[in-house]
Structure 1
Amino acid sequence: MAANNHTTVVEFVLQGFSGDPRLQAFLLVFFLLLFLLALSGNVLIVTAISLNPGLHTPMYFFLTNLAMLDIVCTSTVLPKLLEGLVAKSSSISYRGCMTQLFFLTWFLGAELLLLTAMAYDRFTAICRPLHYSTLMSRPVCVLLAGSVWVISAVSTSVHTGLMAQLHFCGPNQIRHFLCEVPTLLLLSCSPTTLNNIMIVIADAYFGVVNFLLTMVSYGYIVASILRIRSAEGKQRAFSTCSAHLVVVTLYYSAVIYTYVLPGSGSSMENGKVVALLYTAVSPTLNPLIYSLRNKDVKVALRKVIPSIQ
């Protein structure tokens, strides 16, 4: 029996990252290393911020949320990918595929919203410093972070619910290493018009609107920094937002390539590489980017692991 009365496919076959058997051992080690680095790096960030009262500020509160999102996003994708490399083939049940789709879409959307909230925090700190404590009070930060998780959860519930209504009559081979909305729609033998409409709406909100809000925030931030007279003041102001800007650029580039431009003519292999960027590489790099560009985080990390220099 299938997961619902309309679905004849009871499991999907994931193509994996590469079909070349000569690369399997290398990919297994590489993805395992990425997984461990992403988990350890983000856990260290959360631990360091939690144990250091000096970092209990809005900027680091949002950074903690980002680290938690990276942990769960990586844990949603890489274990199944590693399982497929060990078993030489990978299948995922219908329910398992829908579950992965739900959580992956949830965390990806939440990260886009969170990056916008972090940009607003930096805008307030640099452009409205006298009102920062009021505009970014703890209740406001909790409300922003809670909205990030809830809004994305509502969105992914809609997408997953619509996906669950589709008929999957075969073939059941997913030309990817994970279950995503674009790849699953290609396998449906039901009309996907409503799904595509909701994808456009979600792309417009999560991708376009949030990207524009982030860019507007940084437009004001750059203008404010340029008005600072001293070179030291400019450098100090820019250092507080440069790491976030790097993360925004990396993350949006990958997500827009996959969701906003799915029919851009790119090859499936390129799509896998891009998906790897936002599900594994970005969560691995984020702790490094923020720790290398932030003296306070490095000091806090040294307290957690004294051997860190």
Structure 2
Amino acid sequence: MTRELEIAIAYLQEEVAPRAAELDCDRAALGQALAGLGDLELLALSVTANEETFRYFQEAIARYSGALAFLQTQHQSAAAMLARSPNEALQREYLPHLANGSRLVGVGFSHLRRHPSPVRAVPTEGGYLVDGEVPWVTGWEFFSEFIVGAALPDGRSVFGVVPLSEIEGKIALSAPMQLAAMTSTQTVTARLDRWFLPDARVVMFKPPGWLEEHSRKNVLHHSFAALGCARAGLDVLLEVARKRKQAFVLEAFAALDRELTIAREAIFAAHFHLDSDARNPLILRATAIELAVRCAHAAIAASGGAANLNDHPAGRAYREALVYTVTGQTPEVMAATLERSIGNFARG
């Protein structure tokens, strides 16, 4: 385990886990937790850490707080994009400030999977005019800016930094969405009306079909958060087993723990190409999603009626499993998830 990961896990266990219920619904508390990651310079691990450390971190943070995991992931994604940008002036402006959170940036480009894209850009003198509605931007009132993706007439996509704030006649934001989970992350819709994106704020361009190809190649990326969510469910289940001292609860924990351990090893091996005989990554992704749901559901069942309370950790893990079921979802991931669900139903 790297020093960075040791520091991160200690912070998550000592400062984040005890406040997980509060972080899920309280924006101010979530902001404090995010600032704590910045104080430890952990907000750009997607750039500064090796790949293995970053994936272990993504798994760990999802275990202790889905809201914090989801929020910081947006910033980590923006950091990775800025680090790969050919715009050196933009890099000089942002990169020194991303790890400590003195500059916080979100992202909004998943809509590029839609055809036609709801956000489009046309070249103009000195930059681009961006029009359309970005359906999902997480981090309003946390992030001052976000990287928007817009489709160009030639089929490419342009990505650039724009304000995550209301600007009369140019940028309009919806009220924060009332999501099933992680409402404190302040996810909004952003409407851009002929917003001028100057060349100096352009992060990069991508060719036609880039996002689909990126999603296929990196289908396992979202599996790590699902694994962390599954472990969160098992944490609750184990605590119940110790309190109730009922053999069947401990047996359920042991069985699910074995399944999760096997799946986790397979996913890490496949991601890092350690196993040439690894199963189809889509199957592994669907397995991680299924385990997140099943482990959280087992925690609910074992917790009894108390799990109905809004701040119960079992219910929170179950709601977070819903989010990870559809995060970064493509038609292929949807099909694999449904096939896995049908298979389980048939076996039952």
Relative to total residues, which structure has the larger strand share, 1 or 2? 2
Q: What TM-score do the two structures reach when normalised by structure 1?
A: 0.35
Higher-RCO chain (CA-CA 8 Å, sequence separation at least 6):
1
Relative to total residues, which structure has the larger helix share, 1 or 2? 1
